[in-house]
Amino acid sequence: MNAPERAPVSEPPLLRPGSPHPLGATWDGEGVNFAIFSDHAEGIDLCLFDEKGKRELQRIALTSRTGGVWHGYSPQCRPGQLYGFRAHGPYKPDEGHRFNPNKLLLDPYARCIAGTVRWSDALFGYKPGDEQEDLSFDSRDSAHGMPKCRVIDSAFTWGTDRPPKTPLSETVLYELHVAGFTKQHPDVPAGLRGTYAGLATPPVIEHLKKLGVTAVELLPVQAFVDDRYLVEKDLRNYWGYSTIGYFAPEARYGGADPVNEFKAMVRAFHSAGLEVILDVVYNHTGEGNHLGPTLSFRGLDNHAYYRLQPGDKRHYEDFTGCGNSFDLRAKKGLQLVTDSLRYWVTEMHVDGFRFDLATTLARESPHFDRAGGFLDVIAQDPVLSTVKLIAEPWDLGDGGYQVGGFPPGWSEWNDQYRDTMRAYWKGDGGLIGDFARRITGSSDLYGTKGRGPLASVNFITAHDGFTLHDLVSYNEKHNEANGEENRDGSTNNLSWNLGAEGPTDDAGINKLREQQKRNFLATLFLSQGLPMLLGGDEMGRTQHGNNNAYAQDNELAWVDWTPGETRQRLVEFVAHLSKLRREHPIFRRREFFRGHADGEGQKDIGWLQPGGTEMTDEEWSKDFARCLGVQLCGNAIEGVDAHGHPLRDANFVVLFNAHDGAIDFQLPRPAEGHGWHIDVDTASETGTQRGIAGAAYPLQGRSLVLLREAPGS
């Protein structure tokens, strides 16, 4: 099926030829250069709109083409100009082409996107409800329901801004939602709550610094859409995993000037020594499957941007569960992603990325390839190879689980760490071997591939799933508010409510819940690898059992800053753990433990059973064993500090007891004149009990204890 004749365009031509580089709309101080890629289009029109984006003022054909790039230079355009594109070409879905000039399209390289999608059937290239489905053709103009691209002036006063470049070994990650973190913050001015500017206010930064956080990991802030099915249920795409603009900061968080507000936020974080890491979604776009809307990529060059089914170009390869997969095997798809990443580093000054469903990005034909194009380009890039790179190492396709599979230079979300810690502290048996591997950096996953413990991003909770409070308060998910009859969200949470589902007045249950939170947090901060804390967990944030709050842009998902004694104790406990980690390099080693004696007969690590002797092979295999200790030698750390001095630390013993009952744990004999000083005991109300232990420690049920060898007996 062919598209209708081209709509009338302005005459005479109002554009000079311009340049094919750079892509996007670029203000040079005198005019604007427009350049957009479409290899299969037969014509591209530039559409200019009034300041409110409601009226199309001009439609100008781009007559200059270099390779697959259409371009033109307008001496009349200025920053603030709203624009979009229309693409002419064949509408032949069976051949992978979906051109429809009736549909206004967003510039994939737009630096700012103004307005939101206002859903109607006109936003689809076909006629929804037609018996031919997407093989039909829709001639309605979609411009009235489309956001518009905005030309920007990229000038910004960065001053002396410098990236903190926190060493990976000293990094503490904190995952948060830009809006949800401050929506209810009483000390953030009301007009700034839920914005980039609100996140950059002193009360927020002071809280993060108090926790010892070194990097905030922001849920998606690249421009995204609220999916139609959510809007029709009066919900919103709260998490933002439906990207449509890879260069534009999401406008709903940015007020009148989201680009500069984002930059100002980054500058404020850097001034406080905090890094900014973006959660990015390059594996799919917000256009969905073959029955989705035509918003940008699909209408510009569907064949070039998406992975189409071999032998069935009407349908998409879908490794993501979101309807489509972006094609990074294609030259222009890979260029767009790498250009976008460089832009966020060089122009927006971010410090790294967490890649959603990263396995999809490294799929070649069609399997995951550790040496594939995307990973190879990143490794060679002089900009991108120097920032923090974190993979979510799985997707939904065949062979998609790739934990441990990414190359050196990458860290990975380690869900095996999450699941083992949850199961161990729940009291499941037969886990102490896995538990030991996870707290020492997961050498079984990363040790054979030239990587170290810092390849493992350790987490107990994340945005996707229960909060820490809900992990110890609910056995089942409670997602009714999502409008899917509680069918959505994982049923495998490895959670334990300790005797009551949800809130309870039982003091004993509430006390044990707080103790379990301390167990999880202490385990996280004392494990080798990168600790990641979910925003609000340090204050007991609850989603009332909802483990999939992706559509809940309301109090259910926002952080509750209501003060309280119990909350404050947990904040202080996290600050204490973070300080211990920061001051003691033994908890953030760059190399795995060796487990054998050095020339002086000293081991860097030793595993203890409650009787005080080393664990035997038989004891590791006992299903009922839920208690063990680990002795860490502070004189056996490889490497040097920032001043070039050999790393040295105290000796530590960490005791873990997931049994219900107390156990007298026999301690190793300390050096002459020294004793085992208590730094952490999660059985105490604050978790920071002080004192010096005797020959045996009364290790309470469901508790963790950290002991440090120091002078005094």
DSSP string across 381-395: -TTGGGSEEEE----
Is residue 303 within 8 A of residue 97, CB to CB? The reply is yes
Is residue 573 within 8 A of residue 260, CB to CB? The reply is no
Round to whole Å and give the CA distance between 653 and 608: 9
SS3 string, 24-42, reads EEEECCCCEEEEEECCCCC
- 485 belongs to the catalytic site: no
Instruction: Please compute, for residue 191, the number of CA atoms within 13 A of its CA located in the half-sphere on the CB side.
Output: 2
**Catalytic annotation, pick one of 356, 553, 649, 681:** 356
Is residue 453 within 8 A of residue 519, CB to CB? The reply is no
CB count in 10 Å sphere of residue 213: 26
CA 372 to each of CA 363, 368, 507: distance values in angstroms, whole numbers, following the listed order: 7, 8, 55
Q: Which residue has the tokens 């063990």?
A: 628
For the chain, first and last CA: distance in Å?
87
Round to whole Å and give the CA distance between 658 and 607: 16
**Catalytic annotation, pick one of 250, 392, 434, 604:** 392
* 176 token code pair: 């948060």
Identify residue 5 by its one-letter amino acid code: E
- What per-residue string of b and e applies to 175-198 under the rule 16 or more CB within 10 Å gives b? bbbbbbbbbebeebeeebbbbbbb
CA 215 from chain center: how many Å? 12
Is residue 263 within 8 A of residue 301, CB to CB? The reply is no
Where are any strands of DSSP class E within 378-474? 388-391, 411-413, 456-459
Round to whole Å and give the CA distance between 263 and 271: 12
Is residue 72 within 8 A of residue 63, CB to CB? The reply is yes
Which residues contact residue 137 at a Cβ distance below 8 angstroms, ignoring those fewer than 6 apart? 1, 3, 91, 100, 125, 126, 127
Is residue 1 within 8 A of residue 47, CB to CB? The reply is no
Which residues contact residue 22 at a Cβ distance below 8 angstroms, ignoring those fewer than 6 apart? 35, 109
Evaluated on CA atoms 84, 88, 90, 91, the torsion sign reads: positive
Q: Which of 146, 276, 141 is nearest to 204 (CA)?
A: 276
Round to whole Å and give the CA distance between 387 and 390: 10
* 20 token code pair: 């094919």
Is residue 363 within 8 A of residue 283, CB to CB? The reply is no
Write the burial class of residue 156 (CB in 10 Å: 0-12 exposed, 13-18 middle, 19+ buried).
middle
Is residue 220 within 8 A of residue 241, CB to CB? The reply is yes
Question: Helix (H) and strand (E) counts for the chain?
Answer: 16, 30
- 484 belongs to the catalytic site: no
* 551 token code pair: 């559509």
CB count in 10 Å sphere of residue 472: 26
DSSP 3-state assignment of 277?
strand
Point out which residues pair with 413 in neighbouring strands: 457
Which residues contact residue 286 at a Cβ distance below 8 angstroms, ignoring those fewer than 6 apart? 224, 225, 227, 242, 243, 244, 295
Catalytic residues: 356, 392
